[in-house]
């Protein structure tokens, strides 16, 4: 299980108003024990910290590297062709990438188990 306690989680490709990943981390911020949550879109950054303070400000492209430096864990939804580039960008940071229905991570995570459909037996 991943320990998010006192960690800064960075979602580099999530739009808060449309993102189920952002929604998950916001809803579980306290129970996960996060220190800070950051997401950055094309020209903005949204943050929430452990004290409940939220902010939204404009951002320029070169500031993304500063956000990455602050992060402990990077979480992103990617296409298959984006994985290697993202791994290169995050460097030695911990990461969790959702690619289709699978997860790629350098952390110990368990893939969600596929639910088996119950076959109804005929009498």
Asked whether residue 118 carries a pLDDT value surpassing 80, the answer given is: no
Highest mean pLDDT, choosing among 46-50, 64-68, 112-116: 46-50
Express each pLDDT in 88-115 by its tens digit: 999 999 999 999 888 888 887 655 555 5
* 39 contacts 61 by C-beta, under 8 angstroms: no
Token pair of 7 as six digits: 């960690």
Q: What gap in Å lies between CA 25 and CA 34, rounded to an integer?
A: 9
pLDDT: which is higher, 58 or 110 = 58
* 91 contacts 73 by C-beta, under 8 angstroms: no
Q: Would you tell me how many other CB atoms lie within 10 Å of the CB of residue 67?
A: 18
Q: Would you tell me how many other CB atoms lie within 10 Å of the CB of residue 68?
A: 17
pTM, two decimals, is 0.82
pLDDT: which is higher, 63 or 116 = 63
Residues in contact with 117: Cβ distance below 8 Å, sequence separation at least 6, in sequence order: none
Asked whether residue 16 carries a pLDDT value surpassing 60, the answer given is: yes
Question: 């939804």: which residue's tokens?
Answer: 77
């Amino acid at each position: 299980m991943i320990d998010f306690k006192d960690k800064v989680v960075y979602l580099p490709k999530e739009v808060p108003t449309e993102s189920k990943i952002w929604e998950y981390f916001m809803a579980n911020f306290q129970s996960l024990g996060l220190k800070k949550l950051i997401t950055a879109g094309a020209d903005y950054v949204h943050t929430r910290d452990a004290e409940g303070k939220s902010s939204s400000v404009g951002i320029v492209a070169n500031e993304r590297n500063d956000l990455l430096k602050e992060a402990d864990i990077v979480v992103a939804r990617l296409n298959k062709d984006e994985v290697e580039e993202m791994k290169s960008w995050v460097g030695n940071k911990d990461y969790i990438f959702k690619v289709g229905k699978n997860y790629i991570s350098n952390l110990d995570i368990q893939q969600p188990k596929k639910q088996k459909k119950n076959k109804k037996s005929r009498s």
